[in-house]
């Protein structure tokens, strides 16, 4: 029965109850199946070709889902879920989508068996809380116990499934050095690692192993004119967000001239205004000027004469980072409260030196020894664009993971160890409950095993056998006090056996796992709550009347 027949004002079709749920679950499964095969150290890559023929080859869950044009509204929730995980943690985007889809599938089966969605939702919420508590209390290991190697291992684990997995030793050390270089203490005395201060520049040529870390923030542009000095030290940096070109009249401004000689004066005044602005900058002591807009040739000569470096068309993002690192203020107008144009030296940022260097075939401006936070740049080398782009994505994930490890200070074993431990623990919890939630928690526990299963399948190993062995180990670890050390047993996907992943160096920040479980549960609950879908149709008759 269409909704239109009930309420004459609404035109559209309505689906209710089980049909909608099944449809939503199928859509979410389809999305998860796309990214499933890219999970783990032996995960496969995806090649995405967009409507204009641009090719992206990637293994990163968030990137894959962002590039897919997902139509189904429930499946869109999973795409947003991957983006959220990417923003909050930086890695684990594939896992979060796979787990959320599995939760949904199992919840749907329960609803089919006449269990009310509300019971399932409260069961899932309880299981989520218990799981997070269990990770923090029982599975987490403090970073101090594991030493500096711990950070390198976290970075290696994050990179293992990516294109640079083969060189993960080399890149992991680069990443750890880069994150430690931007360490800063904020106003509240907390230590923070703003990884946005790490600029990643991509340059063609050489091999991936020729990538290196530069001390200083690199801008991917050269000086605006050849006559400028190659090096300025110490540097006082002005960050501008307007044109240093001949001032043009605003649109809509009319000037009536009766005497043609006055025209020349107007032209002259337009040129002088820019000259005055530049003089103000130089008088305030600026010897490096960065602007997001253009600088014309007439204006450049003043900078050349003053021996200052001017850089035009700097990316907005870059100029913000430079301003933050050097303590400069991004200026979008010279006008002050009185309507005069002024520029104060307090708006300048400071750095030890600014130099132009040549990397591969490009000139780059390096800002070294910044005042407030450390700034470093990773210069990536590689054979082609696809490879460089994928390297950048892999490094972004690894940088985020190292940052999270340093800030949260707790790690857990990887390779399916956490999921297997939680599954065993939650199953036991389910048997202690005498309410309907028992079934939901048991299914939640079962669903977590999807991660070790998919890892084993992607590695071409026997998933059923490995997961069974893994669960047996974790059951022993949780029931016998003297076997507690077995709780970090996970999969060794190269050999197809079970090993202690803490000792093997396959580790992840505990925060990443906690967030994955929280986000996946929330997403599954959001979709599970839906039991009615009304698609509205445009009313054609109204258009005709107009």
DSSP state letters, 7-52: -TT--EEEEETHHHHHHHHHHHHHHHHHHHTT-STTPPPEEEE-TT
Tell whether omega for the bond before 234 is within 30 degrees of 0, i.e. cis: yes
Contact call for residues 300 and 245 (beta carbons, < 8 A) = no
Tell which phi-psi region holds residue 147, choosing left (phi > 0), alpha (psi between -120 and 50) or beta.
Answer: left
Tokens of 22: 């099944």
63, 93, 291, 410: the catalytic one is 93
Contact call for residues 82 and 517 (beta carbons, < 8 A) = no
Q: What is the mean pLDDT of residues 119-147?
A: 85
Round to whole Å and give the CA distance between 528 and 539: 30
Decide if pLDDT at 353 tops 60: yes
Each residue's pLDDT tens digit, 443-501: 999 999 999 999 898 888 888 899 998 889 888 888 887 777 788 888 888 888 888 88
Q: What is residue 402's predicted lDDT score, i.e. its pLDDT?
A: 87
With a CB cutoff of 8 Å and minimum separation 6, the contacts of 75 are 27, 28, 30, 31
Q: What is residue 290's predicted lDDT score, i.e. its pLDDT?
A: 85
Q: What is residue 519's predicted lDDT score, i.e. its pLDDT?
A: 92
Q: What is residue 102's predicted lDDT score, i.e. its pLDDT?
A: 92
What radius of gyration, in Å, describes the C-alpha atoms of the chain?
29
Own/partner pairs, 276-279, CB within 8 angstroms, 24+ separation = 276/341, 277/244, 277/334, 277/341, 277/343, 278/244, 278/302, 278/303
Name, of 259-263, 345-349, 413-417, the range with top average pLDDT: 413-417
Decide if pLDDT at 99 tops 90: yes
Q: What is residue 3's predicted lDDT score, i.e. its pLDDT?
A: 47
Is 397 annotated as catalytic? yes
Round to whole Å and give the CA distance between 117 and 109: 11
Tokens of 139: 């599975």
58, 63, 94, 370: the catalytic one is 94
Kind and range of the H or E run holding 150: helix 149-159
45, 86, 397, 492: the catalytic one is 397
Label each residue of 188-224 as H, E or C: CCCEECCHHHEEEEEEEECCHHHCEEEECEEECCCCC
Is 544 annotated as catalytic? no
Q: Classify 353 as helix, strand or coil.
A: strand
CA angle at residue 364 from 360 to 365, to 5 degrees? 155
Q: What is residue 21's predicted lDDT score, i.e. its pLDDT?
A: 85
Q: What is residue 517's predicted lDDT score, i.e. its pLDDT?
A: 92
**How many residues make up the chain in this entry?**
546
Q: Classify 433 as helix, strand or coil.
A: coil
Contact call for residues 507 and 154 (beta carbons, < 8 A) = yes
Q: Which band of pLDDT confidence, cut at 50, 70 and 90, is reported for residue 338?
A: low
Q: What is the mean pLDDT of residues 156-167?
A: 81
Unique residue bearing structure tokens 């032996």: 42
Q: What is residue 522's predicted lDDT score, i.e. its pLDDT?
A: 92
Percentage with pLDDT > 90 across the chain? 7
Decide if pLDDT at 544 tops 70: no
Nearest Cα neighbor of 506 from 152, 44, 35, 142 is 152
Mean pLDDT of the chain: 82
Cross-strand partners of 191: 185
**Range with lowest mean pLDDT among 23-27, 122-126, 331-335, 347-351:** 331-335
Q: How many CA atoms lie less than 13 Å away from 429 in the CB half-sphere?
A: 24
Q: What is residue 355's predicted lDDT score, i.e. its pLDDT?
A: 85
Q: What is the mean pLDDT of residues 227-255?
A: 77
End-to-end Cα separation, the chain, in angstroms? 30
**Range with lowest mean pLDDT among 66-80, 203-217, 454-468:** 203-217
Nearest Cα neighbor of 240 from 251, 224, 252 is 224
Tokens of 125: 């919420």
For residue 189, the tally of other CB atoms under 10 A from its CB is 6
Q: What is residue 540's predicted lDDT score, i.e. its pLDDT?
A: 63
With a CB cutoff of 8 Å and minimum separation 6, the contacts of 363 are 221, 222, 223, 356, 357
Decide if pLDDT at 372 tops 60: yes
Each residue's pLDDT tens digit, 168-195: 888 888 888 888 888 777 777 777 788 7
Q: Which band of pLDDT confidence, cut at 50, 70 and 90, is reported for residue 146?
A: low
Q: What is the DSSP letter of 492?
A: E
Is 326 annotated as catalytic? no
Q: What is residue 499's predicted lDDT score, i.e. its pLDDT?
A: 87
| Domain boundaries defined on the chain | 217-373
Decide if pLDDT at 1 tops 50: no
Decide if pLDDT at 235 tops 90: no
- Pair type for strands 309-311 and 288-291: parallel
Unique residue bearing structure tokens 């740049």: 377
DSSP string of 283-339, one letter each residue = HTT--EEEESS-B-HHHHHHHHHHT-EEE-S--HHHHHHHHHHHT--EES--B-TTS
Q: Which band of pLDDT confidence, cut at 50, 70 and 90, is reported for residue 101?
A: very high
60, 86, 91, 492: the catalytic one is 60
Is 492 annotated as catalytic? no
Q: What is residue 209's predicted lDDT score, i.e. its pLDDT?
A: 84
Name, of 63-67, 99-103, 507-511, 529-533, the range with top average pLDDT: 99-103
Q: What is the mean pLDDT of residues 188-213?
A: 81
Round to whole Å and give the CA distance between 114 and 400: 43
State the CATH class of domain 217-373: alpha beta
Decide if pLDDT at 236 tops 70: yes
Cross-strand partners of 331: 240
Decide if pLDDT at 362 tops 80: no
């Amino acid at each position: 029965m269409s909704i239109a027949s009930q309420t004459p004002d609404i035109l559209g079709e309505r689906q209710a109850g089980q049909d909608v749920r099944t449809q939503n679950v199928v859509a979410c499964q389809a999305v998860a199946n796309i990214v499933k095969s890219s999970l783990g150290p032996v995960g496969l890559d995806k090649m995405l070709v967009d409507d204009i023929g641009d090719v992206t080859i990637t293994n990163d869950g968030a990137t894959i889902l962002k590039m897919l044009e997902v139509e189904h509204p429930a499946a869109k929730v999973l795409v947003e879920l991957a983006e959220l995980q990417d923003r909050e943690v930086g890695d684990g985007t594939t896992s979060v989508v796979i787990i959320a889809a599995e939760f949904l599938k199992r919840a749907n089966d329960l609803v089919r068996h006449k269990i009310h969605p509300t019971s399932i939702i409260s069961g899932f919420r309880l299981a989520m809380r218990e799981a997070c508590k269990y990770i923090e209390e029982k599975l987490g290991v403090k970073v101090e116990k594991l030493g500096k190697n711990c950070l390198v291992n976290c970075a290696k684990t994050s990179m293992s499934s990516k294109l640079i997995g083969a060189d993960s030793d080399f890149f992991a050390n680069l990443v750890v050095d880069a994150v430690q270089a931007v360490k800063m203490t904020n106003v509240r005395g907390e230590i923070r690692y703003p990884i946005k201060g790490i600029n990643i520049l991509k340059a063609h040529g050489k091999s991936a192993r020729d990538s290196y870390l530069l001390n200083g923030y690199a801008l991917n542009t050269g000086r605006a004119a050849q006559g400028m000095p190659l090096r300025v030290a110490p540097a006082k940096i002005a960050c501008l967000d307007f044109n240093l070109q001949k001032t043009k009249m605003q649109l809509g401004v009319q000037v009536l001239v009766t005497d043609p000689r006055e025209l020349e004066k107007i032209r002259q005044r337009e040129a002088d205004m820019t000259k005055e602005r530049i003089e103000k900058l130089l008088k305030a002591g600026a010897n490096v000027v960065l602007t997001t807009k253009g600088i014309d040739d007439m204006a450049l000569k003043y900078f050349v004469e003053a021996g200052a470096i001017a850089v035009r068309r700097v990316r907005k993002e870059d100029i913000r980072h430079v301003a933050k690192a050097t303590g400069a203020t991004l200026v979008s107008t010279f006008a002050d409260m009185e309507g005069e144009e002024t520029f104060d030296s307090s708006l300048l940022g400071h750095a030890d030196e600014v130099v132009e260097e040549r990397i591969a075939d490009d000139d780059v401006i390096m800002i070294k020894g910044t005042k407030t936070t450390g700034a470093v740049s990773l210069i990536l080398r590689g054979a082609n664009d696809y490879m460089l782009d994928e390297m950048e994505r892999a490094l972004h994930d690894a940088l985020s993971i190292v940052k999270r490890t340093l800030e949260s200070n707790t790690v857990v074993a990887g390779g399916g160890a956490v999921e297997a431990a939680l599954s065993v623990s939650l199953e036991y919890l389910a048997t202690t409950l005498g309410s309907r939630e028992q079934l939901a928690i048991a299914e939640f526990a079962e669903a977590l095993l999807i991660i070790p299963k998919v890892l084993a399948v992607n590695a071409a190993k026997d998933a059923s056998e490995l997961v069974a062995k893994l669960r047996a180990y974790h059951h022993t670890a949780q029931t016998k006090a003297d076997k507690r050390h077995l709780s970090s047993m996970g999969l060794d996907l190269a050999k197809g056996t079970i090993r202690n992943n803490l000792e093997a160096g396959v580790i992840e920040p505990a925060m990443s796992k906690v967030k994955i479980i929280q986000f996946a549960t929330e997403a599954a609950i959001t979709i599970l709550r839906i039991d009615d879908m009304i698609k509205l149709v445009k009313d054609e008759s109204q258009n005709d009347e107009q």
